[in-house]
Each structure stands twice: as C-alpha cells, then as structure tokens.
C-alpha cells in the first residue's frame, strides 16, 4: 500500500509516516510505503509533472474566464464557492450549510 496522503493524516487505518531511510513496514502481511512529502525526493520532476497537469487549466481560464469552469468538468468539480453560494455538495454537507448547484449560483 502506498499512502500518498500521509502528510494529511493518511488514507489507511494502518498508515503511519515513514522516511526515505526506512520507508516501509508490514502490517498483517501487507507492505506499507508512507513516506511524507514524496515529491520532495524528486523536486524537479515533481514540479514539471505538476506544471504539465495544471497548465492546461490555467490557460483555459486565461482564455475563456469563468466560462471555462462551466465547460470543463474538472474545473467545475473544483469549484467550491461562487457568488457567496456553496457549489460543492460535499463542502456544504460537511459544514451543515445549504448547497447550490452551479446552475442556480450562476442565474
């Protein structure tokens, strides 16, 4: 199991932070790899990968403005608040506040 979220508390019940010096451990016959800040081991490569993944979204926003959010399902899924309304159902539910689908928030 590779826990890429160990920096935020982990994503498995048996997760615990490890280091590059001692990166793995076993629980119930399952090998775990939970090194915190994995991208830090390869900063140039991880920065290039992040740039390659996010640049198209930045370019779409620069070219189309908010229309890019309405057209692109990935940008749309990342929208949490618009014009004071919570457009993320998960965020609204977690805060006990009303949810407004993006169609309602833009009208």
What pLDDT, in 10s, does the model give residues 64-74?
999 999 999 99
- If asked whether residues 24 and 62 sit together in one domain, one would say no
Q: How many domains does the chain have?
A: 2
- If asked whether residues 66 and 92 sit together in one domain, one would say yes
Separation CA 8–CA 52 (nearest Å):
24
In a domain, 1, yes or no: no
In a domain, 51, yes or no: no
Beta bridge partners of 81: 86
- If asked whether residues 62 and 28 sit together in one domain, one would say no
In a domain, 71, yes or no: yes
> 3-class DSSP state for residue 102?
helix
- If asked whether residues 61 and 87 sit together in one domain, one would say yes
In a domain, 50, yes or no: no
pLDDT tens-digit series, residues 50-106:
999 999 999 999 999 999 999 999 999 999 999 999 999 999 999 999 999 988 877
In a domain, 48, yes or no: no
Angle at CA of residue 35, ends 32 and 38, nearest 5°: 125
User: What range defines the domain where residue 73 resides?
Assistant: 57-106
């Amino acid at each position: 199991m590779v826990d890429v979220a160990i920096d935020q508390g982990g994503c498995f019940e048996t997760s615990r932070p490890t280091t590059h010096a001692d990166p793995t451990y076993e629980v119930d016959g399952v090998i775990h790899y939970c090194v915190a800040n994995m991208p830090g081991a390869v900063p140039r490569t991880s920065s290039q990968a992040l740039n390659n993944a996010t640049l198209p979204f930045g370019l779409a926003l620069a070219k189309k403005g908010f229309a890019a959010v309405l057209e692109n399902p990935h940008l749309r899924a990342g929208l949490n608040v618009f014009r004071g309304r919570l457009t993320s159902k998960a965020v609204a539910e977690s805060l006990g506040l009303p949810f407004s689908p993006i169609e309602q928030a833009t009208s």
